[in-house]
Structure 1
Amino acid sequence: MKKKLIAAAFATLIATPALAAPATYAIDASHTFPRFSYDHMGMSKQILSFTKTSGTVVLDKEAKNASVDVTIDMTSVNTGFEPFNGHIQGEDFLNTEKYPTATFKSTKVVFEGDKPVSVEGDLTIKDVTKPVTLTITSFVNMPHPMLNKDAIGANATTVIKRTEFNAGKFAPGVGDEVTLDIALEAIVQQ
């Protein structure tokens, strides 16, 4: 009788579907590029990017919960013109010698159905931390076509004021409002 009870309990465990656990995804640095744009003296919209980003996304599909933790290497700013890269990294703007990284840490991810639609969190630039909300404009969770691993892809955007992060030289001639656009891909860690 005891063997039958053990066998029945074991069979129940096997037959019960396992609850999905949160999965941690490592940011794919070769496909994650934060960009920022601003008005340049009413003449043009300048679009710049950062080429080195790291971090993780934790996604719990069943609970519809997630968290995001991103670090941007501010010395990797890419203006398309090497002397201007140095200018942007200077004391009046990013001051990368003193503040080489910026971070974003989520405090809340809002879902509609199965998809996240916004991420609230704390953005830190030059040791100044401000709350921001990223609007997710696209999101996909699927097997990566080349790596055969679970992956996520997303695009998100928000607007900040550079003067609030002590980077406001030449404002308002050079626009104070900066649009951040983030293209992110991340691969599940195993």
Structure 2
Amino acid sequence: MKNLKAIALALTVVFSTLSVAAQTKKVDAAASTINWVGKKVTGQHSGTVNLKAGTLIFKGDKLAGGSFTVDMTSLTSTDLSGEYQGKLNGHLKSEDFFGTEKFPTSTLVFKTIAAKSKTVYTVTADLTIKDKTSPVTFDITVNGNTATTAFNVDRTKYDIKYGSGSFFDNLGDKAISNEFELAISLKM
């Protein structure tokens, strides 16, 4: 009986130490940025979308997890202004693209993390847009209370096919690239 108590106490100490080692850091959504670039045959458009909430999980000083929610209703172009900006924003928020009325948020949940160096990690995450989930892989750099990454997303994996040469013929100079670029800076 004495040995069982000693083992139970030892396990309690081990599990307490492990749980203390994991630290969840809340991301400051207002101070963080998500920039996007979408390309087409005749040029490109760029803009922003706001982070709604997010956390990064660390074990000691190593990245161990993360999850994020993006406010798709905040999607806006920054390369246009006035009427043209309003038209593009309206089209991006429509069912042709992100359908933000029906799908106001998107999520990203880290699944696997591999350290490449002391501050750089390769992450595979589940990205959900329009209730469709597909994996994405990217490198993320963590320095102190800042984390940065840039990666491309194939929009057709999320049922966003408008203007895609992979699904429609004879688009000519109206074709839109299947991939859009994201550049993300997170502040904690």
What's the TM-score bracket when you normalise by the shorter of the two chains? Answer: 0.7 to 0.9
What is the total number of aligned residue pairs between the two structures?
156
| TM-score, length basis structure 1 | 0.75
Pick the aligned partner of 1:68 from 66, 69, 83.
Answer: 66
Over aligned residue pairs, what C-alpha RMSD do you find? 1.9
CA distance in 1, matches of 2:94, 2:128: 18
Aligned structure 1 segments of 4 or more residues deviating by more than 6 angstroms: none
| TM-score, length basis structure 2 | 0.75
What is the CA deviation profile of residues 166-189 of structure 1, one whole-angstrom value per residue up to 9, with x for unaligned ones? Answer: 112011301111122211111xxx
What is the CA deviation profile of residues 69-126 of structure 1, one whole-angstrom value per residue up to 9, with x for unaligned ones? Answer: 0000100101132332221110110001111110000011221343232211100000
More helix by share: 2
- Residues 1-190 of structure 1: pairs in structure 2 closer than 5 A: 21-40=21-40, 42-61=41-60, 64-80=62-78, 81-136=85-140, 138-141=141-144, 152-172=145-165, 173-186=175-188
CA distance in 1, matches of 2:117, 2:42: 42
8 Å Cα contact 1:33-1:53 kept in structure 2:
no
Amino acid at match of 2:28: D
8 Å Cα contact 1:24-1:58 kept in structure 2:
yes
Unaligned regions of 5+ residues in structure 1, if any? Answer: 1-17, 142-151
Secondary structure in structure 2 of the residue aligned to 1:74: strand
Identity of matched residues, %: 29
